[in-house]
Amino acid sequence: MGAMRICTYGYNYCGSDLLSIGDYRQDIADALKAAGQPNDAAHIQFSLFNCDGLVSGHIQFLKFCGAERCVNAGSGSDDYCL
């Protein structure tokens, strides 16, 4: 198993991407709650978050893309909604 990473300041990430790079499940749940969003599997996987840098690796909810509509754009690029 590879080393866990944290998000890169300023970049946007799909929830599914955050879960693949580190232990972001609670951070995602907290960001969804702070934004008044549901904490269901679809919102966890297919929402877009910004790595805002308030604290190392901290994220902020941007928007819910919809099931299978959040695109991982790869390293060095912002993820986005279709």
The neighbouring-strand residues paired with 47 are: 64
Q: Where are the alpha helices (DSSP H) in the chain?
A: 15-21, 25-34, 41-46
Strand pairing of 80-81 and 70-71?
antiparallel
When divided into structural domains, the chain yields a total of 1
Q: What pTM did the predictor assign?
A: 0.91
Residue 70 in any domain: the answer is: yes
pLDDT beyond 80 at 55:
no
The answer to whether 66 and 43 are in contact (CB under 8 A) is no
Domain assignment of residue 42, given as a range: 12-81
Q: Is residue 54 part of a domain?
A: yes
Residue 30 CB neighbour total at 10 angstroms: 15
Mean pLDDT value of segment 15-34: 95
User: Per the domain annotation, does 49 fall within a domain?
Assistant: yes
Q: Is the pLDDT of residue 4 over 80?
A: no
67-76 mean pLDDT? 95
